Amino acid sequence: MLSKRVIPCLDVRNGVLTKGIKFKGNVDIGDPVETARLYYEQGADEIVFYDITASSEGRGIFLDVVERVASEIFIPFSVGGGINSVKDMRDVLLAGAEKVSVNSGAVKNPDIISEGAAAFGSQCVVLGMDVKRVEKSEKIPSGFEIVINGGRKYMGIDALEWAKTGESLGAGEICLNSIDADGVKTGYDLELTRLVAESVQIPVIASGGAGNPQHMVDAVTQGRATAALIASIVHYGDYTIPQLKDYMASKGVRVRNSW
C-alpha cells in the first residue's frame, strides 16, 4: 500500500501567507518562504502554493515567491493561481515547481490540461477543483458544482463530470477543495471526496476542513483520498506535522517515516 501524503497548503496574497474561511475574510499570517521551510523540515511530503488572487485579478503568478520557496525546500512543490497557458506552466516549472495546478484557467480552456500533459507529462499537471454544494438538478446531478475565480463564479458544471473530463484530458492528479468546509476545521467533505475518488483512477487530494488528525484519517480511509491537504491546523500551531503523522500511523494509516 502506498503511503498517504500529508501536504501543507500555502495560500499567498500579495506575496504574504494568508488564510480565510470559505474563501472569505482572509487575514495575513506570515512569510510563505519561512513557513514552507518549516514544514519541509518537519517532514511534509509535499508543499502546495496557491496565489489565491491571481485569477480574479487577471494577472500571472508571483514567480519571485515561487523561486524563493523552491530554493528552500527539497520535496515536491505544486503551484497554482493565474495559470492560463502552457507558457505560464513552463514559467512556474522553471521557477522551481515540480507540479502545476490548473483550476479556473482549465475550466475556461480545458485544452490547457492536454497541452500541459503533452508538453511536460501528466505527472506535472494537477487539476485543482473548487467545489460548492448546491441543489441537485439535471445540470448538477451530483449536487456539487464547480466554482472558479476564488469562489466567485458558479459555472454550472457538475464536479464529478469535470473530474472525469480532467482525467481524460491528461491530468495526473486532482486537488479537490470543498468551499463549504474550507477553513471551518470541522472535517473534510467526505461525501464529495469519496464520490470523486471513486469516479477517477488518478490520485485525489482531499482539501478543506481539517481541524484535527482524525479528520485526516477519515479523508484517506472513508474518503478514499491519497493525500490530505492541511492549512489552519498547522499555520496556527494546533499541531505539528510529526504529531499529525504519528496519529495517522497509530490509526493504521501508512505514512512516510512511520515504519
* Active-site residue list: 11, 130
Alpha-carbon gap, residue 209 to 216, rounded angstroms = 9
Q: What angle do CA 27, 31, 34 make, to 5 degrees?
A: 145
* C-alpha 202, offset from chain centre: 14
> Could you tell me if 138 and 112 are in contact, meaning their C-beta atoms sit under 8 angstroms apart?
no
> Could you tell me if 220 and 228 are in contact, meaning their C-beta atoms sit under 8 angstroms apart?
yes
